[in-house]
Amino acid sequence: MNTPPPLLTLRGITKSFPGVLANDRVDLDVHRGEVHAIVGENGAGKSTLMKILYGFHRPDAGEIELDGRPIRLDTPHAARRCGIGMVFQELVQVPALTVVENIALFLPDLPVVVDGAAIATRIRETAERYGLAVPPAAPLWQLSVGEQQRVEIVKLLLADARILILDEPTRSLAPHEVDGLFRIFANLRRDGYAIVFIAHKLREVLACADRVTVLRRGVVAGSLRRDEATAAMLVSLMFGALVAEPVPRATTTARPGTAPILQLERVSVPPLGHGPGLAEIDLAIRPHEILGVAGVAGNGQRELGDVILGLEPCRRGTKFLGGEDATRWPVAKMRAHGVVFIPEDARRLAAVGGLTVLENLALGDTRRYARAGGFAIDWDAARADLDRALERLGVSIASPDRPIDALSGGNVQRVILARELARDPRLIVAFYPMRGLDVRSAMAARALLLRARDAGAGVLLISEDLDELFALSDRLIVLFRGRIVGSGVPAPPGGRPGELALDEVGYLMTGAERRARG
Partner 1 sequence: MAPLIRSLLSGSIVSGTPLLYATLAELLSERAGVVNLGLEGVMLVGAVVGFIATVHTGSATAGLVAAGLAGGLFNLVFAFVVVSRRANQLAAGLTLMFCGVGLSALMGARYVGSQIVGLPELRVPLLADLPILGPALFVHDALVYAAVPVAAGAWWVLFRTRWGLSVRAVGENPVAAFAAGKDPRMVHYQVLFLAGVLGGVAGAHLSLAVARTWAEWMTAGRGFIAVALVIFSRWHPLRALAGALLFGGAISLQLQMQALGVPLSPFLLDMLPYVLSLAVLAVWGGRARHAVPASLGRVFQGTQ
Distance CA 269, CA 199 (A): 36
C-alpha of 128 from chain center: 29
Which three-class secondary structure state does DSSP give residue 517? Answer: helix
- The minimum distance between CB 108 and partner 1, in angstroms, equals 8
Q: Given the complex with partner 1, which of 110 and 186 has the nearer CB atom?
A: 110
- The minimum distance between CB 101 and partner 1, in angstroms, equals 6
The DSSP bridge partners found for residue 476 are 292, 488
- Alpha-carbon distance values, 494 to 331, 395, 491 (Å): 42, 36, 7
Q: Given the complex with partner 1, which of 78 and 233 has the nearer CB atom?
A: 78
Residues 6+ apart with CB under 8 A from 129: 187
Residue type, 443: M
**For binding to partner 1 (CB under 8 A), which residues are involved?**
56-57, 76-77, 80, 86, 88, 92-97, 101, 104-106, 108, 110-114, 139, 141, 272-274
At 32, give phi and psi (nearest 5°).
-60, 145
The DSSP bridge partners found for residue 432 are none
- The minimum distance between CB 140 and partner 1, in angstroms, equals 10
- The minimum distance between CB 96 and partner 1, in angstroms, equals 4
- The minimum distance between CB 122 and partner 1, in angstroms, equals 16
Q: Given the complex with partner 1, which of 274 and 515 has the nearer CB atom?
A: 274
Distance CA 168, CA 438 (A): 14
- Measured at the alpha carbon of residue 453, what is the angle toward residues 450 and 458, in degrees to the nearest 5? 135
Q: Given the complex with partner 1, which of 297 and 455 has the nearer CB atom?
A: 297
Residues 6+ apart with CB under 8 A from 262: 283, 284, 285, 308, 319, 320, 321, 322, 427, 458, 460
Q: Given the complex with partner 1, which of 56 and 182 has the nearer CB atom?
A: 56
Identify whether the C-beta of residue 465 lies closer than 8 Å to the C-beta of residue 299.
no
- The minimum distance between CB 57 and partner 1, in angstroms, equals 7
- The minimum distance between CB 221 and partner 1, in angstroms, equals 27
- The minimum distance between CB 311 and partner 1, in angstroms, equals 18
Bridging pattern class, strands 278-285 and 289-294: unpaired
Give the H/E segment covering residue 306. helix 301-309
Q: Given the complex with partner 1, which of 102 and 301 has the nearer CB atom?
A: 102
Q: Given the complex with partner 1, which of 168 and 204 has the nearer CB atom?
A: 168
Q: Given the complex with partner 1, which of 138 and 186 has the nearer CB atom?
A: 138
Distance CA 112, CA 81 (A): 19
